Structure 1
Amino acid sequence: MTERKIGKEIVNHFQSGVSYIIPLVTASGLLTSIAVIFGGTDVWDHTDTFWGVVRMIGQSGLGFIVPMISAYIAYSVADRPGLAPGFITGLVASSMGTGFLGGMITGLATGYFVQWLKKIPVHQSIQSLKSIIIIPFIATAVVGVAMWYVVGPPITALTVALTTWLNGMTGANAVLLSALLGAMMAVDMGGPINKIAYAFGTAAFTSGSYIASTAMLIGIGLPNFGMWLATMLNKDLYSDAERDNGKTALVMGLVGITEGTIPFAVADPARVIPSIVVGTAVGAGLNGFFGSTHPTMLSTFMAIPFTSNIIGYVISVLVGGVVIAVMVNFLKSRDKKAK
């Protein structure tokens, strides 16, 4: 099998996984968004109110994005025997803070490992146990342990290194720092790099450094807005499910939930991820140029009324969204012509 065919096969498995998680993202994301819209930002900290409970239900669902991506990618590769091991190893990836990229890795690793195990002949007396006990046990143990010991340490080292590097840039040019934080927020959408940028921005906010916190917060909803705009500008490049998810992503982005972009990124990482990284970096960097800040922990759109330069802030968000949409559609259209 050629490298191109292997790559196409992997992309197909990713897309299959996305088709299963879109209902999860839609249901959970809309519940969480509605709770924040009607219950205010206090719903994040309480479950003693109705909207707090609605938020909790929705957020619980969002917490299963990584294991479900892993499970259904493994299912796409190896059918039913890959489903349970994919889910469990996805939970391991999620607990390690690897984000959806870790789920993609465990899904593929589990799926192909299970596929290999299925080809190993066993005695007829234990054939019936092979799919329901032997394969799930071995695949879960091997991939789970490999994930913990092989992937975990590098992620920890990366986290420490990036945090140290960002701390050294605190006094750097506002545009450069803002663009960097915006790119980090977009690159893995809730994964370890995103969490490093979020932690850094939050720490800056508590010390009164609103340049860094504003840049971090502007990057939360910008990828969602950009991908929604992309589906509106060229509908032919997206399936009906993706166009529907674009609308959900917009609503999620309005209230500060970036996971709505994940289905797009998993289905087409080579085009979506660079586009949202570049666009978010441009938007956050441009806002740094305008010098617009706000003394709140509200994300992208909710922060607009509180910014020191509303016009500059809005222009930055719009430009960032347009860059994302134009870039991703350009890359997708080139690929479509090549086919």
Structure 2
Amino acid sequence: YVVVFLKKILKGLPKSLEGIKTILFYPFFGLLITGFLMLVVNVPMKVINDGLNGFLSGMSGTNAALLGVLLGAMMAVDLGGPVNKAAYVFGTGTLASTVASGGSVVMASVMAGGMVPPLAIFVATRLFKKKFDKSQVDAGLTNIVMGLSFVSEGAIPFAAADPLRAIPSFIVGSALTGGLVGAFEIKLLAPHGGIFVIPLVSQPILYLVFILVGAIVSGVIYGLLKKDVTK
């Protein structure tokens, strides 16, 4: 949007400067404006993130299942956005103090919850093929890789295209998975990695089962709610 704005205000420049616009004006002013906007946005976002972290810290002594439900849901709310990152940063912050005890239940809930949305897309595009076009079905295959790698952002195109059906579906499955991981006090020693760090999970088989359960629940809900693809 910034570059489109720059194109409009710079379109009156002489033709002799046409070449320099793309290699100098757009990058320079684009970065300048974007940096300023980020600075402005960071002020309220810091307050929001600090508030979320304070809230989660206040819950850290409560029932692990309840905290797992909340963290799992947060991971699915915006798929890599500020709410997701608040939960993730909170999870990674618990790792240092839990190494001696075998890992963090909080981090395990966070990663499991974050793996669910892309895997749910894979499930939905397999079970409800008629509700997705070919490109979406193909994207479902990509999402299984992203989900197993703990890359929640793979589900963003589907969430952006149909947020009122996709996001609530993701939240249900992620919250369920996070709650189950917390209830069984499964621990994780790594901050990222998905299935590639499964040896660092205290109960790997059960952990994978809970992720699969959440993905199936989310995928089925999303598939049932989704409208048929427009022909």
Q: Which residue of 1 aligns with 2:46?
A: 156
Within the candidate set 81, 94, 118, 1:191 is matched to 81
Q: 1:271 to 1:126 in 2, by over 3 A?
A: farther
Within the candidate set 124, 128, 139, 1:234 is matched to 128
SS for the counterpart of 1:301 is helix
Which blocks of at least 5 consecutive residues in structure 1 are unaligned? 1-73, 75-84, 87-110
> For 1:257 and 1:174, how far apart are their aligned partners in 2?
24
TM normalised by structure 1 equals 0.55
> For 1:229 and 1:324, how far apart are their aligned partners in 2?
8
> For 2:55 and 2:152, how far apart are their aligned partners in 1?
24
Q: Which residue of 2 aligns with 1:179?
A: 69
Q: 1:141 to 1:293 in 2, by over 3 A?
A: closer
Q: Which residue of 1 aligns with 2:176?
A: 282
Tell me the CA shift for residue 151 of structure 1: 2.7
> For 1:192 and 1:148, how far apart are their aligned partners in 2?
13
Q: What does 1:256-295 correspond to in 2, within 5 Å?
A: 256-295=150-189
Amino acid at match of 1:184: M
Tell me the CA shift for residue 280 of structure 1: 0.6
Query: 1 or 2 for the larger relative contact order (CA 8 Å, sep ≥6)?
Result: 2
Tell me the CA shift for residue 331 of structure 1: 2.4
Q: Which residue of 2 aligns with 1:94?
A: none
Aligned residues of 2:105 and 2:181 also touching (Cα < 8 A) = no
> For 1:310 and 1:144, how far apart are their aligned partners in 2?
43
> For 2:149 and 2:39, how far apart are their aligned partners in 1?
36
Within the candidate set 234, 237, 249, 2:143 is matched to 249
Q: 1:150 to 1:236 in 2, by over 3 A?
A: farther
Tell me the CA shift for residue 127 of structure 1: 9.5
Identity %: 37
Aligned residues of 1:222 and 1:300 also touching (Cα < 8 A) = no
SS for the counterpart of 2:195 is coil
> For 1:195 and 1:296, how far apart are their aligned partners in 2?
16
SS for the counterpart of 1:293 is coil
Q: How many residues align?
A: 225
> For 2:31 and 2:15, how far apart are their aligned partners in 1?
20
> For 1:265 and 1:128, how far apart are their aligned partners in 2?
44
CA RMSD of aligned residues (A): 3.6
Aligned residues of 2:143 and 2:154 also touching (Cα < 8 A) = yes
Tell me the CA shift for residue 253 of structure 1: 1.9
Aligned residues of 2:189 and 2:200 also touching (Cα < 8 A) = yes
> For 2:36 and 2:97, how far apart are their aligned partners in 1?
39
Aligned residues of 1:217 and 1:298 also touching (Cα < 8 A) = yes
> For 1:129 and 1:282, how far apart are their aligned partners in 2?
58
Aligned residues of 2:115 and 2:211 also touching (Cα < 8 A) = no
Q: 1:228 to 1:136 in 2, by over 3 A?
A: same
Within the candidate set 198, 204, 207, 1:313 is matched to 207
Tell me the CA shift for residue 175 of structure 1: 1.1
Q: Which residue of 1 aligns with 2:37?
A: 147
Tell me the CA shift for residue 306 of structure 1: 4.9
Which blocks of at least 5 consecutive residues in structure 2 are unaligned? none
Cα deviation digits, residues 226-263 of structure 1 (max 9, x gap): 11111111112222111111111111222232232222
Aligned residues of 1:219 and 1:300 also touching (Cα < 8 A) = no
> For 1:283 and 1:270, how far apart are their aligned partners in 2?
21
Q: 1:159 to 1:289 in 2, by over 3 A?
A: same
Q: Which residue of 1 aligns with 2:104?
A: 210
> For 1:224 and 1:268, how far apart are their aligned partners in 2?
15
Q: 1:129 to 1:295 in 2, by over 3 A?
A: closer
Aligned residues of 2:113 and 2:211 also touching (Cα < 8 A) = no
